[in-house]
Amino acid sequence: MVLQSSLKNCLQLSCILKTPKAGFRSTTSGGLIIQSISNDVYQNLAVEDWIHDHMNLENRQVLFLWRNSPAVVIGRHQNPWQECNLRLLRQKNIKLARRRSGGGTVYHDLGNINLTFFTTKKKYERMENLKLVVKALKALRPQLDVHVTDRYDILLDRHYKISGTAAKLGRTTAYHHCTLLCNADKFVLSSVLKSPYKGLKSNATPSVPASVKNLFEEDPSLTCEMLLDAIAEEYATQHQIGHHITLINPADETVLPGIKNKTKELQTWEWVYGKTPKFSVSTCLNMVYKDSVLDVKVDMDVKHGRIEVCKIDLPEQWLPPALCCELVKSLTGSKFCPNETTTLAATLLRVCPQDDELQSRWNLLCENMTMLM
């Protein structure tokens, strides 16, 4: 049933999206509410990009509703190593995405809803959007103590953050999106958003940590669907349009031509990691070898996600100096990535004298190096 209606809606959507003058009976020129049928963070972010780049928002504003399966989303100018526990993300198979808007890092899962308000640059107004959300929440549950701060956060009970905001402005259009915690996994949230990486120095936008709470904790009868519905209702009222949510399939190239490329771009290493502003790593590896602990000083400069400069200070003769030199040379220019480092290290070992002692020392050094990434 859902598929049928989404197909019908998608066809009508393609009319709306491409011919600004074409009308759709229940949505007059005031606004449009669309909801993604996908839970893939890259696909959904690609929809935002698509609307931002291709839609004419002169006479029509758009509200986009979406939810993602577990993912960490960092802001445009942030450093993922600084913001989250990448090792844990890889282990738990949690996706990492970089969005195009500014702001800090958030954790998404199906217990969190995302709202994107699309307008022309002139009509860009974050406070109004957040007030709309608060109004919707209060209409749904009048006893909720929710309000908007001047940092564009929504707080519950004056203390707990339930929503974070970010925005993107282009040449003619703009969007403001925010999260809303309904029933997210707070345990995973706090563990993935804690970075274990030490010695990082960077000018990337830092996140401001805050205590969070789920709306579900305040009122267990609340679900994500109810929140989405309430917000859509309020938006429809304020824009004088019918309360009708059009479903959108982010994988449909006919409705959203070019969407596949946008989705692919968001997944590339060059975008997710490569867009990290230049940073440096300066730390000391404490390697436990046999009965002693070795202090190895490591200094690296990382630009565009690649190691620009690399310095490893090993105890003399612990490893053949020529081999260390080769390692440093190989790492220079490579991605600041555990997989590449491991592969390079394994390759270099092939052209060494075959010695078990050497091999175990080498593996130890490389394991410790990859722990930094």
Which positions from 24 through 53 interact with another protein, judged by CB under 8 A? 53
Q: Does residue number 14 form part of the binding site for another protein (CB under 8 A)?
A: yes
Is 297 an interacting residue with respect to another protein (CB under 8 A)? Answer: no
Residue from the set 72, 345, 372, 373 that interacts with another protein by CB under 8 A = 345
Q: Rounded to the nearest whole angstrom, what is the least distance from the CB of residue 142 to another protein in the complex?
A: 29
Distance CA 196, CA 201 (A): 14
Q: Does 108 bind another protein (CB under 8 A)?
A: no
With binding defined as CB under 8 A, does residue 100 bind another protein? Answer: yes
Regarding 335 and contact with another protein (CB under 8 A), the answer is yes
Give the footprint of another protein on residues 129-148 (CB under 8 A).
Answer: none
The tally of CA atoms less than 13 A away on the side-chain side of residue 259 is: 19
Please identify, using beta-carbon distances, which residue of 116 and 183 lies nearer to another protein: 116
- Options 26, 125, 196, 321; binder of another protein; rule CB under 8 A: 125
Cβ at position 204, least distance to another protein in Å: 9
Q: Which of 105, 104, 155, 152 is nearest to 128 (CA)?
A: 152
Stretch that binds another protein, among 108-116, 218-226, 236-244, 356-364 (CB under 8 A): 356-364
Euclidean distance between CA atoms 53 and 44, whole angstroms: 14
Yes or no: say if 342 and 366 are a contact pair by the CB < 8 Å rule. yes
Given 50, 64, 81, 152, the residue binding another protein (CB under 8 A): 152
**Looking only at residues 230 through 289 of this chain, which bind another protein when binding is defined by CB under 8 A?**
253-254, 257-258, 260-261, 275, 277
Instruction: Write out the binding residues for another protein, residues 300-319 only, by CB under 8 A.
Output: 306
Q: Which lies closer to another protein via its Cβ, residue 30 or residue 102?
A: 102
Residue 259 burial (CB < 10 Å; 0-12/13-18/19+)?
buried
**190: amino acid identity, one letter:** S
In 3D, which of 373, 3, 17, 8 has the Cα closest to residue 196? 373
**Complete DSSP assignment for 274-289:** TTSPPEEEEEEEEEEE
The region of 132-140, 170-178, 225-233, 309-317 touching another protein under the rule CB under 8 A is: 170-178
Which whole-number Å values give the CA distances from 336 to 278, 305, 307, 332, in the listed order? 12, 6, 6, 9
User: How far is it, in rounded angstroms, from Cα 125 to Cα 141?
Assistant: 25
